[in-house]
Structure 1
């Protein structure tokens, strides 16, 4: 049994893989996480989202997706 850990996914990154890692951890689409980062960036309140992203980029270890697409054994040719 593997435990789910928070990590960034450089192979699916646009910048550092932070959004892809967060999306994989929470089981949501990475595009949604990226949109949320952009929306938070444009909120008029002083939310240091760029600083938060950089800290996450430094703190989160590199990793790969937990839920890779695996072939279904029933559909494999014999």
Structure 2
């Protein structure tokens, strides 16, 4: 049995792979996570979101996707 772990995905990164890793962990599209970070960069907040992004970039280990976004149409179950 595999357990989900939070990690960043450099192969799908625009910067550090943090958004792709968060999206994979929560099972949502990475575009929504990226939009969230961009909006939080623009909107003035009490705590700067870029600091959160940098900290996540540093502490999240590298990894790869757990699940494919779409099933492979050529995959034959055994």
Partner of 1:12: 12
For 1:15 and 1:50, how far apart are their aligned partners in 2? 12
- Cα RMSD of the aligned pairs, angstroms, is 1.4
Extract unaligned runs of 5+ from structure 1.
Answer: none
For 2:44 and 2:21, how far apart are their aligned partners in 1? 27
Q: May I ask how many residue pairs the two structures share in their alignment?
A: 74
Q: Which has the larger radius of gyration?
A: 1
What is the TM-score with the length of structure 2 in the denominator?
0.86
1:43 shift after superposition: 1.5
1:45 shift after superposition: 2.7
1:7 shift after superposition: 0.1
Partner of 1:72: 75
1:46 shift after superposition: 2.8
